[in-house]
Amino acid sequence: MYFPRYTPFSNEWISFGLFFLLILTLIGISELIKSKYKWPVERSRKFVHVIVGILISICPFIFTSPRQPVILAVIFIIINTTALKSKHFKAMHATERKTYGTIYFPIAFLILSLFWWSRPVSLIIGTLLMTFADTAASTVGNMVKNPRRYRLWADYKTIEGSVAMFITSFIIVALITICLRPFIPFNFTLSHIPGLAGFVALVAAMAESNSKDGSDNFSVPLFGSIAFDIYLTNLANGTILVFMFWVIFSLIMFLLAYRLQALSGSGGVGAFITGIVIFGSGGLQWITPLIVFFVLSSLISKVGKKQSKALKALTWANYQKSTRRDLLQVLANGGVATIVAVINFYNPIDWLYIMYLGAIAAATADTWATEIGFFSTNDPKHILTLKSVPKGTSGGVSLLGTLGTIIGAALIGLSGLIFGLDWHYAILITLAGFIGSLVDSLLGGSVQSRFRCQSCGTITENHIHCFKPTHHFAGILWIDNDMVNLLCTLSGALIVINL
């Protein structure tokens, strides 16, 4: 359906120029108010955040193509990055804590403009969730005298602020949906709005609670828009009851995983959002391989943890994270698969499911290689030097671990057979998973960062050892175990379509 646009000038570049100048003027006014009336920096930042958020949310009403909004987003990514480094325009970005939120927000708007322009209602909702709901969360959290603070990942949040985030998100989704209902390409009644608003508000509140250095400015707009589209699509397809059953079931499942210490708080929230996005995008066919990976890998990891305690394998702790998967581990193992699932949701293509299984197979193969290889009676060999290395060392391979690699990848291939996948593809997925695990070992044994404890001299992959920062001495600093795992899953997804 045609979306209403009100172009004030025949040439949209004139509108763009005035739009850009208006934003700069408002930022300048905020700087003057801050200086003249001694406004707290945080209040000025919120003022700019809200004003700019409102302005960019109306872009679909002004511009006929995403060209100008994309350029606007790129310009402000550059401006905000420069301002943050030079410590200028404090009214725009400065807060009492370290944050890159003013950079994350235009990046999110850039992605929304590029890929959601044909879904303007979703774009507007995603933008306004960050504009008002996030502001409400921080405002309420700061107003309460004795807020109940918690931390899932890195940023501290408050219970009161999260409740405000949920309520404000609910109101925004409900109002925008009612106002723009004629321009939503799905038939639904007003009775469906509470369920829609509640689901999107839940996802937005969870995304906001699980952040680091202002990363919620990126995650809230994107996941808010995706959640809105997923709910409406399942509603239109008549699968909404099944979908909501999965939402409740997965919430219980990941709460149990948290209680059993298979997931940390950040990992639990991340896995929950990842799971509902994948199930909402593709149903049981897409979520089953991920469940196989998560459940079986967690069980094997738990057994390995008990065995490591029994054997007092101290070197294991120098190379491996806790068996409680955190958000970064969840993203490293499931991030590529989630992106593929979202792409398939908006643009279904048969081979995307094969890529998805290739990514999961690589994650499973790598995890099983490490966990099963731990039970080997002999130390593994370094994949490049062929010298014996301690168990758990990145780049170490063993016969038992290789067997675990093949079994793990094959299980994902077999899970595809349940839903009618041809044997030929199951074999290719198994092979892609195996090769992906080899890529992980090669990267882990060559470019992955390594550190030396400054107290005891132990070689480790951890930034902290003996309660002190370690010294980086080998590998590329930013390529840690999580990055290697991410590249492993990416290689599995790419390899399977090239075999």
CB 376 within 8 A of CB 412: no
**How far from 491 is each of 49, 168, 439, CA to CA, in Å?**
38, 40, 7
Q: What pLDDT sits at residue 216? A: 93
Taking alpha carbons only, the member of 211, 200, 209, 135 closest to residue 169 is 200
pLDDT at 311: 44
Helices 67-86 and 12-36, interaxial angle, to 10°?
Answer: 30
Q: In this structure, are strands 381-382 and 396-397 parallel, antiparallel, or unpaired?
A: antiparallel
pLDDT digits (tens, 9 = 90+) for 89-138: 554 555 555 678 889 999 999 999 999 999 999 999 999 999 999 889 98
Which residue matches tokens 């309420």?
A: 140
User: Is residue 354 pLDDT above 90, yes or no?
Assistant: yes
Question: What is the reported pLDDT for 310?
Answer: 44
Distance of CA 366 to the CA centre of its chain: 21
SS3 152: coil
With a CB cutoff of 8 Å and minimum separation 6, the contacts of 80 are: 92, 93, 102, 103, 106
170-to-136, 233, 240, 324 alpha-carbon distances in Å? 12, 19, 18, 32
Task: Tell me the whole-structure pTM to 2 decimals.
Answer: 0.91
Per the CB < 8 A criterion, the answer to whether 329 and 485 are in contact is yes
Return the closest-CA partner of residue 485 out of 440, 429, 435, 438. Answer: 440
3-state secondary structure of 251: helix
CA distance 202 to 218: 16
Find the helix packing angle between 216-236 and 120-128, rounded to 10°: 140
Return the structure tokens found at 28.
Answer: 């300048």
Task: Give the DSSP letter of residue 133.
Answer: I
Per the listing, tokens 């469906």 go with 192
Share of the chain above pLDDT 70, in %: 91
- How far apart CA 197 and CA 152 sit, in angstroms, is 24
As a whole number of angstroms, the distance between CA 409 and CA 437 comes to 9
How deeply is 3 buried, as exposed, middle or buried, from its count of CB atoms within 10 A (0-12, 13-18, 19+)? middle
Q: Where are the domains of the chain?
A: 285-499
Q: Are strands 450-452 and 396-397 parallel, antiparallel or unpaired?
A: unpaired
Please give the average per-residue pLDDT across 372-397, as a whole number. Answer: 86
pLDDT band (50, 70, 90) for residue 318: low
Please report which confidence band the pLDDT of residue 378 belongs to, taking 50, 70 and 90 as the band edges.
confident
Mean pLDDT of 319-341: 84
Give pairs for 385-388: CB < 8 Å, separation 24+: 385/445
Burial of 87 (0-12, 13-18, 19+ CB in 10 A): exposed
Task: Pick the more confident residue, 289 or 370.
Answer: 289
- Is residue 494 over pLDDT 70? yes
pLDDT tens across 226-263, in order?
999 999 999 999 999 999 999 999 999 889 888 888 88
What number of other Cβ atoms are within 10 A of residue 83's Cβ? Answer: 19
- The radius of gyration of the chain from alpha carbons, rounded to an integer in Å, stands at 24
Looking at per-residue pLDDT, the higher value among 283 and 145 belongs to 283
Predicted local distance difference test score (pLDDT) of residue 89: 55
